[in-house]
Amino acid sequence: MEDLPVLMDLYEHGRRIMRDSGNLRQWTGGYPSAELVTDDIRKGNSYLCVEEGGRAVGTFAFIPGADPTYARIYGGQWIDDVRPYATIHRLAGREDVRGVSAACIDWCYAQVPNLRADTHRDNRILQHILQKHGFRYCGIIYLMNGDERLAYQKL
């Protein structure tokens, strides 16, 4: 919990990266909120990426088990809809550090070699990163609030 301000700062870095790349509609309205990140921490799903020197450079939520928003997929299908999976959510890193996403994805895949992730249609950066690291586009899912997301899976 003592790292909450660090996590929130990293999410602000993530928002700036999105805005600078033309993604103006994702992570708006204070998302992710301190309340949501606190919930991630309490559930043991929040991770902090730290350089060898101790500087925090990235964060993400890694959530094992079925994600209710992934129960229905449209315009495609999951590669594997049988075996247990984990989901990567809320991935963010500092603007001045390269390789954070790769390190996060590699760590997650080592834990559970069946990963899912989703992103906003405007988030071209994350779409590229996911595909570069072996994720395949599977279709469209809808969040609980009805927002559309592009869904990916890596086996």
Q: What is the pLDDT of residues 114-144, one digit of tens each?
A: 999 999 999 999 999 999 999 999 999 999 9
Beta-bridged to residue 48, according to DSSP, are 59
Q: How much is the mean pLDDT over the chain?
A: 95
Q: What is the pLDDT of residue 14?
A: 94
Q: What is the pLDDT along the chain (155 residues), one digit of tens a residue?
A: 999 999 999 999 999 999 999 999 999 888 999 999 999 999 999 999 999 999 999 999 999 999 999 999 999 999 999 999 999 999 999 999 999 999 999 999 999 999 999 999 999 999 999 999 999 999 999 999 899 999 999 99
Residues across the chain: 155
Predicted local distance difference test score (pLDDT) of residue 105? 97
The amino acid present at 101, given as its one-letter code, is: S
Q: What is the pLDDT of residue 13?
A: 93
